[in-house]
Amino acid sequence: MKILMVCLGNICRSPLAHGLLQKKVDDRGLDWYVDSAGTGAYHVGEGPDPRSVDVAAAHDLDIRYQKARQFIVDDFDEYDLIFAMDSSNYSNMMQLARNEEDQQKIHLILNESYPGENRTVPDPYYGGDQGFKNVYDMLDEATNKLLERLVRAKNN
């Protein structure tokens, strides 16, 4: 199983989703690969935003190993599931999808917590630390739900 988390810059939201899910997957001893990317190229090569690094570290999660990269069409071939943080990431990737199979890989991450509601993870970039805490909590819950759902599917 290969899972990709996607936001705009790949420095604030998707690195948290990536780090959270990878740790939970590893803790369960599952041989799954998790990565993240941004639809935009502004921050390619940079590490995660220090505010994301800090909120992760406060929960014993180290995301400093990550490097921002841009989402590419080949990611549709590489990944089984692709999660958008918000509706703009979602529609940007939908536009890049080559066929229905690509499109079916794309989901909004918060639909794991709130099925069918199409809620979005707010972009915390221009806000303060509280925004990063909110994003962390939302993604912690969503990645718990996602992992439970995938483990259930795997065992059925």
- Cα gap 23→25, rounded to integer Å: 5
- Residue closer to ligand 4NP (CB basis): 9 or 19: 9
Nearer to ligand 4NP, 30 or 107 (CB): 107
Per CB under 6 A, residues contacting ligand 4NP are 7-13, 38, 42-43, 123, 125
Shortest approach of ligand 4NP to residue 31 CB, angstroms? 28
Phi, psi of 4 (to 5 degrees): -120, 130
Check if the beta carbon of residue 140 is closer than 8 Å to that of residue 61. no
Which amino acid belongs to residue 69? R
From the CB of 38, what's the least distance to ligand 4NP, in Å? 6
Query: Catalytic residue at 123?
Result: yes
8 A C-beta contact, residue 142 and residue 109: yes
Give the nearer residue to ligand 4NP in terms of CB position, either 32 or 125. Answer: 125
Give the 3-state secondary structure of residue 91. Answer: helix
Catalytic annotation, residues: 7, 13, 123
